[in-house]
Each structure stands twice: as C-alpha cells, then as structure tokens.
Amino acid sequence: MTNGNYILRQVARYGLIYAIVTLFAVFAALPFFQMLVIAFKSDADFNNPRENIPFWFNEAPTNEHLTYLLEETQYLTFIWNSLLIGVFVVGITLVFATPAAYSLARLTGRQGERLGILIFLVYLIPPTLLFIPMSRVVSFLELQNSKWALVVIYPTFTIPFCTWLLFGFMKTIPKDIEEQAMVDGYSRFGAMLRVVLPLALPGLLTVVVFSFMLTLHEYIYALAFTTTSSEKPISVGVTTELVRGDVFFWQSLMAAAVFVALPIAVIYNLFLNRFVSGLTMGAVKG
C-alpha cells in the first residue's frame, strides 16, 4: 500500500510538471502558429473576425499574400542584406571582443571586473544619443544609404555587450591549464588559442547568437542610414514596404515574420545546451 501511494504521488507530481511545461510550450508556440495561419488567410476570412474563427481557416487558404511578398517586394534582398550585415558584424565582434575579454579576465588583476562593468555600461547608452556622432562618421566614410554603414555602426554596441558577456566565461576557466601550456612551450597567445578558446566555445557561440540577434532586431540606425530598398535589412525593409500609410498588408507581414523567426528559433534551440553547460569541461581542478 505504501509503494502504491508512492507511485501515485510520483505520477501526480510528474503529471503536474508536464502539464505546466505543456501549457508554457503551447503559450510560447501560439504566436508562431497564429502568424502561420494569418499568412495564408484570404482577405475575406481575415477581415471578418467577428463571424470567423481567427485561429483557423474559415475559408480555403491562399498563397497570394506569400506570392505578393516574394514577387512584389524585395523580401529576399532584405534577408540577404541582413545575413551579410550579421556575418560581418559577428566576425568583427569576435575579433575585438575575444582578446578584450581575455585581457580583462587574465591581465588586469582586480580591476578587470570593474573595467568589464564600465565597458558594459557603454552598451546601455541609448542609440538616439549616439545618432548625431554616428551620422558624422557615416558621412566621413561616405557610406550614406549603404548597408556597409550598419556594418560600421553595429559593432559599437555588440562589442561592449559581448566583451562583458565573454569576460564572465573567461573567468570560469582555471588559470592552471594556461600555465601548464606555457610551461610546455606555448606563448600566451598560443595558450589562449589552443587551450582557452576551445573551453570557451559555449561563450563564443553565445556571442555569435546574441550579436547576430542584435543586428536583426536593430531598427533606429537601419531606418536612419538606409533609404533605398536594395540596401535595407529585413527589420526596416519589411515594415516600410508592407506598411504604407494606414494600409497594413497583415498577411504578408505575418509571412515575412514567420519565415525568418522559425529557422532562428530552431537554430537557437539546437545550440541551447551549449550555452548553459560544459563551460570548463575537462579543465584542471585545483
């Protein structure tokens, strides 16, 4: 009887846990499902929510809004511009943030944490305060109305944030393994390259994802420094092409959003375990 009660309590416990997790999963997935449904709704179905169920198809689905998005706008160009900007910004961020974080964690002693906080505070400066000096920089480099202006500007806020983020990962790696590598003949740079960076791989992946996400989400600089459709990233291109005055192309907007959000969500979840585990796996413990 005791074993039976224990089993019932365990079933009730795990049943409650799975019920709560399922509720949160449905809540998180509902916006994606709603966007996907709206993307294929006809105008008559979408514009009559009082009589039609808004969460499902009341009339036959149509792909006319997807066709409009791909053929009547430069949606694919927006995606290409965003990918190009993101790749360059991620590369620049890694090149500068990695040695900066390593220096703060290893070469500055007790002042490293304070310097890391000061660097992070640069990320908190509102973009509107930096707009005028950034416009002067863009004008000096003759990059007006160019996606390359964003490649120059975006590292100004990705590098501080990612330096602070990577600094925390670097501090978790014991110094013993570096010292052993240097005793074996490696220089400090060689020890960092061959020992520290492999152990900091979860942090580097986090930096890649966060810096890429920041470039995708940014709107103010992209709106200010790109005016031609062929130069716009997706954050600005979709809204300016599909919102015209008081006319919103809702189905095309939802299609544009879901076809970018779903792949990013899948990729992010594939690397999720890398972000939260194994920071110093195999490190020497002392």
- Is pLDDT above 50 for 284? no
Please report which confidence band the pLDDT of residue 108 belongs to, taking 50, 70 and 90 as the band edges: low
CA pair distance 93, 161, nearest whole angstrom: 10
Predicted confidence at residue 2, as pLDDT, reads 62
List the structure tokens of 201.
């791989």
Least confident piece of the model among 142-146, 181-185, 206-210: 181-185
CA pair distance 178, 128, nearest whole angstrom: 42
Which whole number is the average pLDDT over 166-179?
A: 79
Alpha helices by DSSP H, listed for 107-218, are: 111-123, 127-140, 147-153, 155-171, 175-183, 188-191, 197-199, 201-217
CA pair distance 47, 225, nearest whole angstrom: 35
Buried b (16+ CB within 10 A) or exposed e, 80-112: ebbeebbebbbebbbebbbebbbbbbbeeeeeb
Which whole number is the average pLDDT over 255-277?
A: 73
Kindly report, residue by residue over 44-72, the tens digit of the pLDDT: 888 877 777 777 888 888 888 888 888 88
**How many CB atoms are located within 10 Å of the residue 203 CB?**
25
Which whole number is the average pLDDT over 244-270?
A: 81
Which residues, 6+ apart, have CB-to-CB distance to 218 below 8 Å? 127, 150, 154, 235
- Is pLDDT above 50 for 259? yes
- Is pLDDT above 50 for 152? yes
Predicted confidence at residue 282, as pLDDT, reads 34
Better-predicted residue by pLDDT, 48 or 226: 226
- Is pLDDT above 60 for 278? no
Predicted confidence at residue 9, as pLDDT, reads 80
What integer best gives the mean pLDDT of the chain? 81
Fold held by 67-276: MetI-like fold (1.10.3720)
Which whole number is the average pLDDT over 137-148?
A: 88
Kindly report, residue by residue over 1-42, the tens digit of the pLDDT: 466 677 778 778 888 888 898 998 888 888 888 888 888 888
